[in-house]
Amino acid sequence: MHAFEFVKPSSIADAVKALASGEAIPLSGGQTLIPSMKARLNAPEVLVSLTGIAEMKGVCRDGDVLVVGAATTHAEVARAAAGDFPGLAGLAGKIGDPAVRSRGTIGGSLANNDPSACYPAAALGTGARIVTDRREIAADDFFQGMFTTALKEGEVITSVRLPIPEASAYAKFLQPASRFALTGVFVAKYAAGVRVAVTGASEGGVFRWAEAEAALSSDFDSEALSGLSVAAEGMISDLHGTPEYRAHLVRVMTRRAVAAAS
């Protein structure tokens, strides 16, 4: 690991200021950044820790929206969201292992946008708003491909606003060693319709399954998915599974998520 300067601001304004100077990178949970630095794949001159900013932590309800501070850990989301949003709490409680859940944060996960991460499915599946130090970004516009988001240089996620659904659930077929999703599906039912977001399957990253949304909006039952499938083209192919296998998992995990939500 290369030498670097470590800065731990206590406010969003100070963090933004620190990120504007030099080769600075924000550090939230560090579950991806620190290993990449150890492997010398990343060598920032300055690490700006976001973990000391109180206004970026915590979970609260604002009407029909659950507001989660970007520096809130997975473990805290799993605990604090259980009453108002059990679907999100269940997702957070199955990320990684206890060590990962005690350090990793929702903001870090969304900003990194790993194609197999869980939170992008929750954000896209609820039509969340990602709040930064500059603006609010709709989840449908935020995710732009593998490890790519709408964030601009130096822009910091401060909180996430997730509309609370009538019913929701997340089903994940995990890779046993990493506990990342080989394929994960988040399903959320609202009065206006159902949203279905898939992670871990596509080379393009998290995506919505429109055909399933239409079917489930008419009949929120796993049997409504009978006869539906997603194309294998564009699905991830690696040592864990073929594109056809992942396409099959999309359908299976969606059915499981709907059954759990029901």
Residues 6+ apart with CB under 8 A from 119: 91, 92, 95, 106, 109, 110
Kindly state the average pLDDT of the residues 171-181: 89
Kindly state the average pLDDT of the residues 58-78: 98
Coil/strand/helix, residue 217: helix
Q: Are 81 and 170 in contact (CB under 8 A)?
A: no
Q: Are residues 156 and 223 in the same domain?
A: no
CA-closest candidate to residue 108, choices 45, 29, 186: 29
pLDDT digits over 196-224, tens only?
999 999 999 999 999 999 999 999 999 99
Q: Give φ, ψ of 87 to 5 degrees.
A: -65, -40
Can you read off the two tokens belonging to residue 120? Answer: 């992008």
Residues 6+ apart with CB under 8 A from 259: 169, 222
Residue numbers of the domain that contains 33 = 5-49
Of 39-48, 114-123, 168-177, the one with minimum mean pLDDT is 39-48
Q: Are residues 139 and 202 in the same domain?
A: no
Q: Are residues 141 and 182 in the same domain?
A: no
Q: What is the 3-state secondary structure (H, E, C) of 35-89?
A: HHHHCCCCCCCEEEECCCCHHHCCEEEECCEEEEECCCEHHHHHHHCCCCCHHHH
Q: Are residues 36 and 126 in the same domain?
A: no
State which of 137, 163, 189 marks the end of a domain.
163
Region of 59 please: left (phi>0), alpha (psi -120 to 50) or beta. beta
Q: Is the pLDDT score of 174 beyond 70?
A: yes
Q: Are 123 and 170 in contact (CB under 8 A)?
A: no
**pLDDT on residue 202:** 97
Cross-sheet strand order for the sheet of 129-132? 59-62, 65-69, 157-163, 129-132, 136-138
% of the chain exceeding 90 in pLDDT = 79
Average pLDDT, the chain: 93
Kindly state the average pLDDT of the residues 96-100: 92
Q: Are residues 136 and 206 in the same domain?
A: no
The two beta strands, 24-27 and 46-49, are parallel
**pLDDT on residue 1:** 67
Q: Are residues 159 and 71 in the same domain?
A: yes
pLDDT band of residue 94 (cuts 50, 70, 90) is: very high
**pLDDT on residue 251:** 97
CA-closest candidate to residue 151, choices 94, 208, 177, 113: 113
The single residue listed with the structure tokens 């399933």 is: 212
**pLDDT on residue 116:** 93
Greater pLDDT, 52 or 38: 52
Of 18-22, 42-46, 129-133, 134-138, the one with minimum mean pLDDT is 42-46
The single residue listed with the structure tokens 């100070």 is: 14
Q: Are residues 243 and 191 in the same domain?
A: yes
**pLDDT on residue 230:** 96
Q: Is the pLDDT score of 4 beyond 80?
A: no
Can you read off the two tokens belonging to residue 144? Answer: 């732009």
CA-based diameter of the chain, in Å? 57
Q: Are residues 186 and 251 in the same domain?
A: yes
pTM over 0.85: yes
Q: Are residues 114 and 81 in the same domain?
A: yes
